Amino acid sequence: MAISMAPISVIAAEDGPSPLMPHTSELIVGLVAFALLFFFLRAKVFPIFERTYAERAASIEGGAKRAEEAQAEAQALLEQYRAQLADARSEAARIREDAKQQGATIIAQARDEAEAEAKRVATRAEAQLQAEREQVLRELRGEVGTLATTLAGKVVGESLDDDERSRRVVERFLADLESADAATLAGKDS
C-alpha cells in the first residue's frame, strides 16, 4: 500500500521587524526594571545575606574556639588528675614504707625491752635465790651448832654450854663443815 504523501506547503514566516532592532519601550522598561531591582536588592536583601554570612562565620569560629578551649581545659584537668594520682601513689608508698620501718623499730624496741626485762627478772631472781640460800645456810649453821652441842651434851650427859673447850670443838667442826660445803658447791658448779 502506497503511503499517500500530502503536499506540505511551507509558507515562509512573514518578515517581522528585524530581531536586531531594539524596541524603545522594551529598552526603557528593561532599564527601569533592572535599576529598580538592583537598588531594591542592594538596599533590602544583600546586606542581610552578608550579615548572616558574617554571623555564621563568627558563630562557627566561636564554636570551634569554644571547643578548643574546652579541650584544653579537659587536657589540663586530666594532667592535674594524673599528677594527683601519681602524688597519691608515691604518698601511699611512702606511708607504707614508713609504717614498715616503724613496725620494725617497734618490734625491735619491744624485743629489746622484753630481753632487758627478762634479764632483769632473771638477775633479780638469781640474787634473791642467792640471798635466800645464804640466809638458809646461815640459819642452818646456827641451828646445827646448837643442835650438835645439845645432842653432844645429851650424849655425854653433862652440859657443855659454858665450856671453853666444847665451844672450840664446835667451831672447828663448823669450819670443817663450811670448807666441806664449799668443796661440794665448787664440785657442783663445775
Partner 1 sequence: MIVAESSEFHSPGPGDFDFPPLFGEGTFFTKPILIIVLGTIAVGAFFYFAARRSTLVPGRLQFSGEAVYGFIRDGVARDTIGREGIKYVPYLVTLFGFIAVLNISGIIPVLQLPATSKIAIPLVLAIISWVIYNYVGIKRQGFGGYFKNMMFPPGVPKAIYPLLAPLEFFSTFLVRPVTLTLRLTFNMFAGHLVLLLTILGGEYLLFEYQGVAGIAAGSLSILFSIVLTFFEAFVQLLQAYVFVLLSAIYIGGALTHEH
Task: Please give the residue ranges that form the binding site for partner 1 (CB under 8 A).
Answer: 3-6, 8-27, 29-31, 33-34, 36-38, 40-42, 44-46, 48-49, 51-53, 55-56, 59
Q: How far is the CB of 29 from partner 1 (least distance, A)?
A: 5
Can you tell me the distance from the alpha carbon of 164 to that of 168, in angstroms, rounded to the nearest whole number?
Answer: 6
Can you tell me the distance from the alpha carbon of 163 to that of 171, in angstroms, rounded to the nearest whole number?
Answer: 13
Q: How far is the CB of 67 from partner 1 (least distance, A)?
A: 17
CB nearer partner 1, residue 3 or residue 155: 3
Q: How far is the CB of 92 from partner 1 (least distance, A)?
A: 52
Cell 672447828 found at: 172
Please answer whether residues 166 and 160 qualify as being in contact, where contact means their C-beta atoms are separated by less than 8 angstroms: yes
Helices 24-44, 46-156: inter-axial angle, 10-degree rounding: 20
Q: Which of 176, 118, 166 is nearest to 146 (CA)?
A: 166
Can you tell me the distance from the alpha carbon of 65 to that of 62, in angstroms, rounded to the nearest whole number?
Answer: 5
Q: How far is the CB of 69 from partner 1 (least distance, A)?
A: 21
Please answer whether residues 144 and 174 qualify as being in contact, where contact means their C-beta atoms are separated by less than 8 angstroms: yes
Q: Which of 170, 168, 164 is nearest to 147 (CA)?
A: 170
Q: How far is the CB of 73 from partner 1 (least distance, A)?
A: 25
Q: How far is the CB of 86 from partner 1 (least distance, A)?
A: 45
Please answer whether residues 153 and 160 qualify as being in contact, where contact means their C-beta atoms are separated by less than 8 angstroms: yes
Residue 177 CB contacts under 8 Å (≥ 6 apart), including other chains: 141, 144
